[in-house]
Amino acid sequence: MWLLVVLYLFGTVWADLHKLLAVLPQFAEPKVPILRPLSYDLQLQLPLSEVSDPDVPLFTGRCVMQFEINQQIGPESAFISDSTSNRAKIKFDIIMLDHFENVSLVFNGQELEIFNVLLTDDSMELSVDQPVLFPGRYTLTIHRYKGLIGSAIYYRDAGEHAVFGSQLFPNRAPAVFPTYLGSTEKVTFSISMVHPIGTLALTSGASESGPRKVDSNWQTTTFSTTPAITPSMLCFLLLPHEYTHIESSYTGINISVHFNKFRVQKEQAKHLLHTATQVLALLKETFSSLLPVPKIDMITMHETGSTACFGAIVVSETQFFSSDYANQVQLLATWLTKQWIGGYAAISDGAELCLQEDLVNFIAQKIIKRMTNDEFTRLGQLAKVYLSETIFAAGETLKLDEHPNELEIAEKCALKGVAMLESIEALIGEKAMLAKINEMVYNSKRGSWNSETLYGLLNATVDGDIYVSQLLHYWREHGGFPYMTVDRLVNSIKITQTAQI
């Protein structure tokens, strides 16, 4: 009797699952943001110190932000009598930025009268002396503001001097400049840095020329405008004279390794450069889209985590040089893949960031296999998946908060989602899978992408009427880890889900 009940329930569940997988995923219409940033022109000066407390390091900035308003901000009618509500407002995200000076807002070549700039720890609210802000393009200029060094921009001891780096991913960009939907909207950046004479400034853009002397203490370096990238992928670095560098242009892209000559041996730096060159060469074969950066700077630091941003990578000395070769390849493959997926093509929804991280790791696993054929890194990856699914994040989906933090990303992303992508690849083949990923990257070079973009490219069928896109969508939207068996029959494929953790 119980056997009949179990068989009946299994048949019902399978019938419902089959019915679901035979229909394309349905999505809501994407929302058009009220305000969309277009470009930034930034000038940063660092390091400075607070006059009242010289031990507090800080930076000053100048920001020119162009943005467009897609929907009218303010009441539908401009004819209102309540004097307390006849001023339109825009709110931007900031993190501990203050001392804003000479703020202006221009629309259609005309400067609008600003009534007030209200600053809190996490927002800047701009009020204009008119009831509405109409759709169109605006230019916001902040001639000077201050920010703290310690989180988004940080420093580490390099000997007699400090080396400065940045970590804006996933949502620290507002600690350097005002943002709106800062973790997802792609914009272009034009950057200049004012820094002490004797230091080397690096950013995501390539240096347009050598530094220009300002006075006996300061110099300015101007960088070329970046392609459209998310603010979280931007970086700033300042290297003291303790650093030197080696470089290679073997792949057609100039790779420079900047290292502390008193901490890192030149042979170690050469090994890093050689391995990175090999990884990048394989990635260029994998991706049909050209890498939109003329250079990649790799900067070694101690007592810090590794960071991959657009055009530059901060390499943790301890993490990289203490790893075996296979893990070094994995680290480099992950960091360099983010130049394409995350930099060139960025996901538009912070809640779906796991899909981006899963794709990065999916590609990195292929590079490891081609360069080392090492199975221990894969075994370690599977161990992480099962630990996550049984202890740390059991039964959870791959959806994140709208603005996820690093801990949430580390707990959920680049784990079971990678296995799901590998399962899809087993159904459609590696060539087809890479072609779909390449198509997504190429189509997203000027904008962003989301899960719907990838599902749309995977709208092929297997086993007669099951959509691959719906299969992936089902896995990602439901908790647990799917145990799937795939049987290739004569002219079809049989898919069986046997259990969930």
Per-residue pLDDT tens over the stretch 102-144: 999 999 999 999 999 999 999 999 999 999 999 999 999 999 9
Q: Is 104 contained in some domain?
A: yes
Q: Is 329 contained in some domain?
A: no
Contacts for 74-77 with beta carbons within 8 Å, 24 or more apart? 74/130, 74/131, 74/132, 74/133, 75/131, 75/132
In this predicted structure, what is the pLDDT of residue 473? 86
In this predicted structure, what is the pLDDT of residue 491? 64
In this predicted structure, what is the pLDDT of residue 13? 41
Shared domain check, 355 and 213: no
Adjacent-strand bridge partners of 501: none
In this predicted structure, what is the pLDDT of residue 2? 36
In this predicted structure, what is the pLDDT of residue 402? 85
Shared domain check, 210 and 351: no
CA distance 128 to 94: 19
Q: Is 79 contained in some domain?
A: no
Q: Is 229 contained in some domain?
A: no
Q: Write down the H helix ranges in 429-491.
A: 430-443, 451-457, 468-477
CA distance 313 to 336: 8
Shared domain check, 350 and 493: yes
In this predicted structure, what is the pLDDT of residue 257? 98
In this predicted structure, what is the pLDDT of residue 183? 59
Q: Is 135 contained in some domain?
A: yes
Q: Provide the domain limits for residue 120.
A: 32-74+84-149+169-196+204-218
Residue 176: give its domain's CATH number.
Answer: 2.60.40.1730
Where the chain has pLDDT below 70, the residues are 1-32, 51-52, 76-85, 182-183, 289, 463, 480-501
In this predicted structure, what is the pLDDT of residue 26? 56
Residue 480: give its domain's CATH number.
Answer: 1.10.390
In this prediction the pTM is 0.87
In this predicted structure, what is the pLDDT of residue 437? 92
Q: Is 255 contained in some domain?
A: no
Q: Is 491 contained in some domain?
A: yes
**DSSP reduced 3-state for 296:** strand
Q: How many domains does the chain have?
A: 2
In this predicted structure, what is the pLDDT of residue 79? 46
